[in-house]
Structure 1
Amino acid sequence: MGSSQGSQHRKGSRQDMEDQNPSEEMIWPQTLRHMFLNDRLYKLVPFLLRKYQKKEQVTMEEMLHIVDRDYREHFPVIFRDFCECMCAGFGIDVKEVDAPGHAYELVPLLGLTYKGLLNDDSESFLQISVLIVILTVIFIKGNTASEEEIAEVLRMRKILAQRDNIAIGEPWKFITVDLVRERYLEYQQIPNSYPDRYEFLWGPRAHAETSKMKLLEHLARLHRRDPKSYPILYDEAWREEQDRVRAPELGSWSPWSWSFPKLHQ
């Protein structure tokens, strides 16, 4: 046998769901497809991700300083689309907290910190944009995803990159080395496979920082659907939430404690 019967049965039962599994189009929502089309907004992404990791607020003035001076007049309209892209691509809500001062908080919708993944390379944020997608694929495939299934996700991302003329570095190294090193993913041989085949699972850090319910709610929110419209996935996510209530300590990893400084009155 190429893999364990239990794993095949679990995956097969999900593939039999009618209108339950998010489609490929849902995994790569339309807003995310246009995330990097605008060069002026493209410059904002690494800037905001660093603000996010430092748990700092950001002002409209700071953002306008990043974009081209001759583009400022049109920025407020484009900025709304950009916020949708930050939500879709990174699970970050850009929320205004001081209208007169035009100050914003970067609120974690999924809890993912991306700590250790964003470096001085300005292109690194392009790679971490696949993390949510990979975790989602693992969830809907039955809590494991084969190399072939993840490669298909990368193939879709590569097509997007080619169309949008953006580079994504070495995605396979990023997934099998960087995400494994940072414990977002586990990468292991499929039992009894010959020739050797490998699969991915959520790592302990993914379990600590986010949850199946958060991912499902995020996916449903992007497509204006109720999470319960995916009953099998919802039931599994709900059971995980109940387990978390009974056993809140999930290993040594723990999410950030998010507390933003109050604005001066």
Structure 2
Amino acid sequence: MPRSHKSKLQASERRRRARGEAQAKAAQATAAVEEESATSSSPQCEDAAQSLPPAGSSSTSQERQGAQATTITHTAVSCTKSDEDSNSQDEERVSPCEALYYIENPGEDSLTRKPGLLEQFLLYKYKMKQPILKEDMLKIIGQNYEDRFPEIIKKASERIEIVFAVDMKEIDSTRQSYNLISKLKLPNNGRVRAGRGLPKTGLVMNILGMIFMKGNCAAEEDIWKFLGMMRVYAGRKHFIYGEPRKLITKDLVRLQYLEYRQVANSDPPRFEFLWGPKALAETSKMKVLEFLAKVNDTIPTAFPSYYEEALQDEKERVQTKAMVRASNIDIILQFCWFVQERK
């Protein structure tokens, strides 16, 4: 058999195996989603749950949020691992992740399925630190849906936002290039640590929300109880966050997004969390409340007491900025007067 023909057959066999592996992974992820949806719902702060609109709608949004988080993260991580674990240099190799984009669920119509396909693609590109181009996104959803592109990308980016707290932004209008940008200025665009990975911003925003709703100071045991509902446990490595205790009590404290201190006169010692200086500077109670409202598929006013506190915080921030601006103007005027006197 000619060498070129044999090479093509081998490449074809590799592609077939890659698609088979991708389909198996998709089936496992789907099974995990169905199992979790049947047994649990998405975590929310206990205080927040008391302020949500009654019954049905809240429960439904929590279950949907939990399913979205599981689907998105399982897919993005398994795709990236598949690419990173493969050492093949064959130019004709098809990534298992690329095959996964095109797996269809017979129970869904095409337009419903497209945002999910785009989510997988966007997170894969983010994790691998690769540019997100409109032309590539159109290949994922299909040229026949180009007229629905704004609608599809809006749904996909909103679903990613409520899990990871990142915003889809156009960074180059000429190339029509986009990126997922962290809501906080965490190092490495939300990854916290160097290298590739998924954003940690969603975890930080949830913790800030918990602190806010616990009276701006949350006991460490309350934080871990809350994170346990997200299946994030101290001492157990998480596939997105790494070792959570180190991330929360060391990394985020060192970066000044959280303050971690011992409760006064506690014996045995107990600890509590507050917002750190960077969190106070880069976000606000209103922004965190808006994020939590999106997670719950509602609006900030659905949390009446917290909304009033957030409004008051906004007013105080405006007043503080005005005072600083007035003080700066006064300093400039005094300097000008001093210079004039010296002439």
Shorter-chain TM-score tier: 0.5 to 0.7
Relative to its length, the structure with more helix (as a share) is: 2
Residues 48 and 303 in structure 2, CA contact (< 8 A), matched pair in contact too? no
Find the partner of 1:206 among 267, 279, 282: 279
Whole-Å separation in 1 of the counterparts to 2:137 and 2:262? 45
Give 1:141 deviation, angstroms.
1.2
Name the counterpart of 1:29. 65
**One-letter code of the match for 2:127?**
P
Residues 144 and 201 in structure 1, CA contact (< 8 A), matched pair in contact too? yes
Give 1:152 deviation, angstroms.
1.7
Using a 3 Å threshold, how does the CA distance of structure 1 residues 150 and 234 change in structure 2: closer, same or farther? same
Whole-Å separation in 1 of the counterparts to 2:228 and 2:46? 21
Give 1:136 deviation, angstroms.
0.9
After TM superposition, list the pairs within 5 Å mapping 1:69-88 onto structure 2.
72=140, 82-88=156-162
Residues 184 and 201 in structure 2, CA contact (< 8 A), matched pair in contact too? no
Q: Structure 1 residues 185-194 or 171-180, which shifts more?
A: 185-194
Residue by residue over 1:1-40, the C-alpha shift from the partner in whole angstroms, topping out at 9 and shown as x without a partner, is xxxxxxxxxxxxx978883169898599333343213234
TM-score by length of 1: 0.65
Aligned length in residues: 218
User: Does structure 1 residue 194 correspond to structure 2 residue 267?
Assistant: yes
Whole-Å separation in 2 of the counterparts to 1:246 and 1:103? 38
Name the counterpart of 1:174. 247
Residue by residue over 1:75-123, the C-alpha shift from the partner in whole angstroms, topping out at 9 and shown as x without a partner, is 9898665423431133332146889964436566xx4111265333434
Using a 3 Å threshold, how does the CA distance of structure 1 residues 61 and 18 change in structure 2: closer, same or farther? closer
Find the partner of 1:90 among 158, 164, 176: 164
Find the partner of 2:134 among 60, 72, 80: 60
- Specify every segment of 5 or more residues in structure 2 that has no aligned partner in the other structure, as ranges: 1-44, 80-96, 98-119, 325-343
Residue by residue over 1:178-226, the C-alpha shift from the partner in whole angstroms, topping out at 9 and shown as x without a partner, is 0000000000011222211000000000000000001111222333322
Whole-Å separation in 1 of the counterparts to 2:291 and 2:274? 20
Whole-Å separation in 1 of the counterparts to 2:64 and 2:218? 17
The structure with the larger Rg is 2
- Alpha-carbon RMSD: 4.1
Q: Which has the higher contact order (CA 8 A, sep 6+)?
A: 1
Using a 3 Å threshold, how does the CA distance of structure 1 residues 74 and 188 change in structure 2: closer, same or farther? farther
Residue by residue over 1:53-87, the C-alpha shift from the partner in whole angstroms, topping out at 9 and shown as x without a partner, is xxxxx4234678xxxxxx83569898665423431
Name the counterpart of 1:239. 312
Residues 26 and 223 in structure 1, CA contact (< 8 A), matched pair in contact too? yes
**One-letter code of the match for 2:51?**
Q
